[in-house]
Amino acid sequence: AQSVTQLDSHVSVSEGTPVLLRCNYSSSYSPSLFWYVQHPNKGLQLLLKYTSAATLVKGINGFEAEFKKSETSFHLTKPSAHMSDAAEYFCVVSERGNRDDKIIFGKGTRLHILP
Amino acid sequence: DTGVSQNPRHKITKRGQNVTFRCDPISEHNRLYWYRQTLGQGPEFLTYFQNEAQLEKSRLLSDRFSAERPKGSFSTLEIQRTEQGDSAMYLCASSFGSHTGETQYFGPGTRLLVL
């Protein structure tokens, strides 16, 4: 069975400092992994996705994530936070099983940017 | 704008009433998904269609919920005899391809409040 755990419900960083949002997953098959961002009163937007190609995935707005199979992790990072990065971030795992597809969202991490 | 659209954006109803939401996906997308998101939680999968066929329904989708995609284009989600616990944001997403590893594009959501 697949699952996804976002280890922090809230993360606060100062503007200009690095961002790390943690995500661990479990999957019976080779998963696809995604990070989505949700700004207040806006729709979910894809930041990046991993689908068994390069393990280091670069996304929009300077974000990137590294797929580590041995650690079952897919942490999201950014070298330098901007005020506009304040939002809710969701880690998503998707796997194609024998009979159906499953997609599961994490509970989200709210990122706060301190001036 | 050719993104995913949802109508209405907000709906307030009294307990026991029926409500219907509409989702218009990106025109060439063959897959359409419905999710429910409650406060402080990630989106929870409800159901999805490939073209007009409803391929999977979550256990969250009680018999008061029904979804259709009659011509493989727009979709409707109906909730009968609404309950206060149905209050949530209902999200629609669409994708092109044959499994959930493809990128899903989300609409802005319909926020339902059941009084």
* C-alpha–C-alpha distance, residues B53 and B48, integer Å: 8
Please determine, for residue A97, whether its predicted confidence score (pLDDT) is greater than 70. Answer: no
pLDDT value for A100: 56
The residue with greater pLDDT, A32 or A97, is A32
Identity of the highest mean pLDDT range in A40-44, A69-73, B15-19, B38-42: B15-19
**Hey, which residues 28-67 in chain A have their CB within 8 Å of chain B?**
32, 34, 36, 42-46, 49, 51
* C-alpha–C-alpha distance, residues A101 and A76, integer Å: 24
| Mean of all residue pLDDT scores within chain B | 92
Distance from CA of B57 to the nearest CA of A (A): 11
pLDDT digit string (tens) for B57-111?
Answer: 888 888 999 999 998 899 999 999 999 999 999 999 999 887 666 788 999 999 9
* C-alpha–C-alpha distance, residues B47 and B27, integer Å: 19
Q: Does A100 touch chain B (CB under 8 A)?
A: yes
Q: Specify the amino acid at residue A13.
A: V
Average pLDDT over residues B31-55: 92
**How many CB atoms sit inside 10 A of residue B68's CB?**
14
* DSSP letter assigned to residue A28: S
Q: Which two tokens stand for residue B22?
A: 């509409």
Interface residue ranges in chain B relative to chain A, Cβ cutoff 8 Å: 4, 33, 35, 40-45, 48, 55-56, 91, 93, 99-101, 103-109
E strand or H helix at B105: strand B105-106
| Test mutation, B94, B100, B103, B110, chain A, max A CBs within 10 A | B100
% of chain B exceeding 90 in pLDDT: 76
Nearest to A51 among B55, B101, B109 (CB): B101
Using CA coordinates, name the residue in chain A closest to B34: A103
pLDDT value for B100: 60
From the number of C-beta atoms within 10 Å of its C-beta (0-12, 13-18, 19+), residue B75 rates as: buried
Least Cα distance to B67 among B112, A53, B75, B43 occurs for B75
| Test mutation, A6, A44, A89, A95, chain B, max B CBs within 10 A | A44
Distance from CA of B4 to the nearest CA of A (A): 10
**How many CB atoms sit inside 10 A of residue B97's CB?**
13
Q: Specify the amino acid at residue A26.
A: S
